[in-house]
Amino acid sequence: MLAAIEAGGTKFVLAVGATPDTITARHTIATRDPATTLAEAAAWLAAHGPLTGLGIGSFGPVELDRASPQWGFITTTPKPGWAGTDVARHLSAALGGVPVGFDTDVNAAALAEHRARAKNAGGDDSGSLAYITIGTGIGGGLVLDGRPVHGIAHPEFGHIYPRRHPDDRAFPGTCPHHGDCLEGLAAGPAVIARWGVSLSELPAEHPGHAIIADYVAQACHVLFASVAVEEVVIGGGVAQTPGLVERIAARARALDAGYLPGGARHRIIAPRLGTESGITGAMLLAQAAAAEG
């Protein structure tokens, strides 16, 4: 059996299955302190063994350098108790040394969406894709030519600085590090800080929709213009606001102004896998880990 964990700041989703497409059992636990949460996850997974591979898509920041002694750690998170937590090696050891694959939650989601795209394209897995999640924070994963991109650490699209919308100049932003970065302007808490309710609770004619769409569209334009991804997939709770993905796509086309050479092929879409991208991506990490032994 392959085992997968989508490790989030509020919940851990656990799953097992023979292949990434055949999850046969799943379980959700609350994210509490690291020792309690990891022990509970390991106990549930162990009861569904024997396991041949474990994949973890984790909230971060995380260490992805295989040569680092901290590989598989959550590093500098502000989440109380979790900074410097060994996740990957700890869980592998707790599960009898099972091979483990580890990446960010959004790179895992990007991998799964990339594979779903390839299936739709008749198996052509050459494309490139970014996955942006908009929820309590904003994160981004990137798959270029079929491989997740890490760089020196991993992408953090949430913390780029967009140009301010003309009707949104006074709001200081909510990011504790940057104030008015993308996350500080467009994540769920920034919406509530300005307008008192979530984006999906604002009336359809409220200017907040265009303001949020503008910021996310700028991030998509950055991705199209800098790394020339073919698709940007927009997931997360805020992105489920009716009409938002369409607004973002329309605004991004306006921002491009017909310039980019790949413009006609650029797409901004909702996740093909709905809310299953993250856990499916963790299953893919498990499959790869099992194959590598």
Which residues contact Zn ion by CB under 5 A?
A: 159, 175, 177-178, 181, 183
User: Least CB distance from residue 176 to Zn ion, whole Å?
Assistant: 8
No. of H helices and E strands in the chain?
8, 12
**Cα(162)–Cα(186) distance, rounded to whole angstroms?**
10
What amino acid occupies position 191? V
**Cα(165)–Cα(217) distance, rounded to whole angstroms?**
12
Find how far residue 182's CA is from the centre of its chain: 15
Half-sphere exposure of 67 (CA within 13 A, CB side): 2
User: Least CB distance from residue 137 to Zn ion, whole Å?
Assistant: 9
Residue 183 or 276: which CB sits closer to Zn ion?
183
Which neighbouring-strand residues pair with 139? 133
Angle between helix 244-256 and helix 207-226 axes, rounded to 10 deg: 50
Residues 6+ apart with CB under 8 A from 170: none
User: Least CB distance from residue 106 to Zn ion, whole Å?
Assistant: 15
Residue 159 or 165: which CB sits closer to Zn ion?
159
Residue 169 or 177: which CB sits closer to Zn ion?
177
User: Least CB distance from residue 194 to Zn ion, whole Å?
Assistant: 17
User: Least CB distance from residue 104 to Zn ion, whole Å?
Assistant: 16
Residue 175 or 191: which CB sits closer to Zn ion?
175
User: Least CB distance from residue 75 to Zn ion, whole Å?
Assistant: 16
Residue 175 or 268: which CB sits closer to Zn ion?
175
DSSP string, 152-174: TS---GGG--PPPPTT-SS----
Residue 238: Cβ within 10 Å count = 23
User: Least CB distance from residue 139 to Zn ion, whole Å?
Assistant: 11
Rounded to the nearest 5 percent, the helix, strand and coil shares of the chain are 40, 20, 40
Pairing of strands 138-144, 147-148: antiparallel
User: Least CB distance from residue 240 to Zn ion, whole Å?
Assistant: 23
CB burial of residue 126 (10 Å; 0-12, 13-18, 19+): exposed
What amino acid occupies position 198? S
